[in-house]
């Protein structure tokens, strides 16, 4: 497991600030997403041979959709994303090995949602937001699991 203070202060916050996408709510949402999706870094490849990769368990198809249907029309944000990408790695490998890039792509995924982020201290709201827009109705995760994993891994 990744130390939550280090992940928050050395990866998530700086990359989101650099991209002009930081807020306390966004930071907490990403921390919760990593806690729920990978046990805060315990799993870098989806269990059961699934396609999801990295601490946020993003599927390469989702990353490709972000690149082609969102970043393509936002050159300044695309440039920021490319700046954080390790060119020697494939997209899937960047999601696994490049924490800053994976965090930025997770935030961009949420940025595509028109609904505003919940308040930073509204853990049930963050859980609902994650379930609705990241895990989706078809996903196996639950809001209760998100909250439990946030307490377990982020607040420790």
Say which DSSP state 117 is in: P
Cβ 57 vs Cβ 37: under 8 Å: yes
Q: pLDDT (tens digit, 9 = 90+) per residue, 14-26? A: 999 999 999 999 9
Q: Give the pLDDT score at 27.
A: 98
Cβ 66 vs Cβ 74: under 8 Å: no
**Of 130 and 138, more confident:** 130
Q: What is the mean pLDDT of the chain?
A: 96
| pLDDT exceeds cutoff 90 at 137 | no
Sign of the Cα pseudo-torsion (92, 93, 94, 98, in order):
positive
* Coil vs helix vs strand at 138: coil
Cβ 102 vs Cβ 54: under 8 Å: yes
């Amino acid at each position: 497991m990744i130390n939550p203070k280090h992940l928050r202060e050395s990866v998530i916050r700086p990359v989101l600030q650099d991209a002009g996408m930081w807020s306390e709510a966004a930071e907490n949402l990403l921390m919760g997403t990593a806690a729920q999706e990978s046990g805060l870094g315990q799993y870098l490849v989806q269990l059961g041979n699934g396609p999801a990769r990295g601490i946020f368990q993003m599927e390469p198809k989702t990353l490709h959709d972000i690149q082609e249907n969102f970043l393509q029309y936002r050159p300044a944000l695309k440039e920021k994303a490319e700046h954080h990408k390790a060119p020697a790695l494939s997209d899937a490998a960047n999601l696994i090995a490049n924490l800053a890039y994976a965090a930025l792509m997770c935030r961009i995924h949420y940025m595509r949602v028109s609904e505003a982020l919940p308040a930073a201290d509204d853990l049930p709201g963050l859980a609902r937001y994650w379930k609705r827009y990241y895990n989706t109705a078809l996903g196996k995760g639950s809001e209760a699991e998100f909250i439990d994993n946030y307490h377990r891994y982020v607040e420790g």
